[in-house]
Structure 1
Amino acid sequence: MVLRVGYVREHFSTPLLQLQDADQDRTFSLVECPSGTGQLISRLTNDEIDLAIALTDPLISGIANGSTAYKLCGSYVSTPLNWAVITGTNTKFNDISDLKGTTIGISRLGSGSQTMAYVMAMQQGWPTDDLKFKINNDIHGLIDSVNDGTTSAFMWEWFTTKPWVDDGKARFIGSVPTPWPSWLIAAHPTRASSEALRAFMTSLSEYVRAFDSASNREGPNVEVIKTKFGYPEEDIKAWLKTVGYPENCLMIPSEVITNTLSTLEKAGVVKAPEGGFDVQQFITKDVVNLT
């Protein structure tokens, strides 16, 4: 079978795109999900993809809240994601503290843009049970919403949003880095074989390690990202200083799951069952190795 891999076309996905370029046997196909992790989870649920490279927090909260559409099967990015807090060009909001009680834009329910809004609220000391959200589907809808006044702000990865800020279409008023490594890999529990999943992630690991090497960071990575995404060279170099990838995509540190659950529980996003969460319930046991 050809593995259907859902992903978000951002600079983080560069090693995945390099693997696709080299995949002469066409062992997998990429399915772009521009709305982000909420869309990836929806497509896993609706049998539109078999595997997703998606944000840590919505994947884990989805399982914790009862989703059976996927299990965690690997790691992708080992460093935090820097979520920018973005408002419109001419709004009255100049600081995160100004957003209390307002409507926050999100891409979809269960998305990283929503879970991180809860984390932001928790950091600010706001009640997390009365946050107000408006769904705007993708970055374009989110940018429109902060400028037409239907939302006060939204959260999105810093460097992905920076071109809109540089063009004067939005403003940064703060940032909230994730308290966890930013990207994991999840797969439907039955649609793809364990062998197919392991083979894909073993190949992905090779490209991740190459991308993460010091020699490629110093030059080749910059040119690849510039060609594929058109980002300014100074932004690419700044991002490369902040990002790290795992040595082996088939491994997940167990503390990534437990620490993320702890933070999400404090934020009110998940509720632990009696006796606490069982980490084994979050993973594809015959594929991934917990460390």
Structure 2
Amino acid sequence: MVLRVGYVREHFSSPLLQLSEEDGGKTFTLVECPSGTGQLISRLTDDEIDIAIALTDALITGIAKGSKAYKLVGSFVATPLNWAVITSTSTEFKDITDLQDTTLGISRYGSGSQIMAYVMALQQGWPTDNLKFQINNDIHGLIDSVNDGTTSAFMWEWFTTKPFVDAGKARFIGSVPTPWPSWLIAANPDRAQPAAVSKFLNGLTKYIREFDSKKSREKINIEFIKEKFGYPEEDIKAWLKTVRYPESCSQIPQSVLIDTLGVLEKAGVVTPPSGGFNVNNFISEDVVKLT
């Protein structure tokens, strides 16, 4: 079978794009999901994709809330994601503390932009049961919403948003790094056959190891990201200093699941069942290994 792999076209996806160029559509095709993880999860649920490379917290939240549309099958990025807090250039908001009791923009319910708003609230000591949100679908809708005043701010990955800030369309007022490694890989347990998923993960592992090498980081990665995304070289170099990929895409540290669930519980995003969560229920055991 040819797997349909959902992804967000950002600099993090560079090793995936490199693998796709080599594969040429023989074993998988890419399905771009510009609205982010909420859209990826919807497409997994609606039989539009078989595999999703998506944000750790949102994937874990979905399973914790009972979704049967996917199981975790691997790791993609081993370092935290730095979520920028962004507002309009003309608002009175000076820093994160000014956002309490305002309406925050999110891409979709269940998305990373919503979950990280809960994490931000937890860090600030705000009540998490009365946060107000407005859905704005994607980065363009989110920027429009802060500029027309329907939302106070939104959260999105720092370097993805920086070109809009540099162009004067928005303004940073802070950032909140994730308390967990940022990206995992999920697959529909019925449509995505284990052998096909394992083959995909093995190929991706080869490319992330090459991407993570010193030689690639010094030149090849910079030129690739510049060509594909048009980012300034100084931004690419700054981002490369912050990101690391796992040794193997076919492994997930058990601590990632335990620690992420712990933070999500404290933030009020998920509620554990009697006896607590069993992390083995979150993974496809015939594909991925917990370490």
SS in 1 for 2:256: helix
Deviation of 1:24 (Å): 3.8
Which segment is superposed worse, 198-207 or 19-28? 19-28
Map of 1:121 onto structure 2: 121
Deviation of 1:26 (Å): 1.6
CA distance in 2, matches of 1:81, 1:7: 16
Task: State the AA in 2 paired with 1:73.
Answer: V
Q: Does 1:12 align with 2:25?
A: no
Task: State the AA in 2 paired with 1:63.
Answer: I
Deviations 1:13-60 (A, max 9, x none): 000000011014621000000000000000000000000000000000
CA distance in 2, matches of 1:2, 1:67: 24
Deviation of 1:236 (Å): 0.1
CA distance in 2, matches of 1:5, 1:236: 25
CA distance in 2, matches of 1:57, 1:241: 23
Compared CA separation, residues 149 and 243, structure 1 to 2 (3 A): same
CA distance in 2, matches of 1:91, 1:23: 47
Map of 2:198 onto structure 1: 198
Task: State the AA in 1 paired with 2:100.
Answer: K
SS in 2 for 1:258: helix
Map of 2:46 onto structure 1: 46
Task: State the AA in 1 paired with 2:11.
Answer: H
Task: State the AA in 2 paired with 1:8.
Answer: V
Map of 1:137 onto structure 2: 137
Compared CA separation, residues 129 and 25, structure 1 to 2 (3 A): closer
SS in 2 for 1:219: helix
Map of 2:263 onto structure 1: 263
CA distance in 2, matches of 1:46, 1:190: 13
Q: How does 1:120-269 map to 2 (within 5 A)?
A: 120-269=120-269
Deviation of 1:169 (Å): 0.4
Deviation of 1:229 (Å): 0.3
CA distance in 1, matches of 2:110, 2:26: 32
Task: State the AA in 1 paired with 2:94.
Answer: N
Deviation of 1:126 (Å): 0.1
Deviations 1:119-175 (A, max 9, x none): 000000000000000000000000000000000000000000000000000000000
**What TM-score do you get using the length of structure 2 for normalisation?**
0.99
Map of 1:23 onto structure 2: 23
Map of 1:68 onto structure 2: 68
SS in 2 for 1:123: helix
Structure 2: 5+ residue stretches without partners: none
Q: Over aligned residue pairs, what C-alpha RMSD do you find?
A: 0.5
Map of 2:83 onto structure 1: 83
CA distance in 1, matches of 2:251, 2:191: 21
SS in 1 for 2:92: coil
CA distance in 2, matches of 1:25, 1:6: 14
Map of 1:281 onto structure 2: 281
CA distance in 1, matches of 2:54, 2:234: 26
Q: Which runs of 4+ in 1 moved over 3 A?
A: none
CA distance in 2, matches of 1:276, 1:156: 31
**What TM-score do you get using the length of structure 1 for normalisation?**
0.99
CA distance in 2, matches of 1:126, 1:25: 47
CA distance in 2, matches of 1:190, 1:213: 35
Deviations 1:44-97 (A, max 9, x none): 000000000000000000000111100000000000000000001100101000
Q: Does 1:104 align with 2:91?
A: no
Q: How many residues align?
A: 291
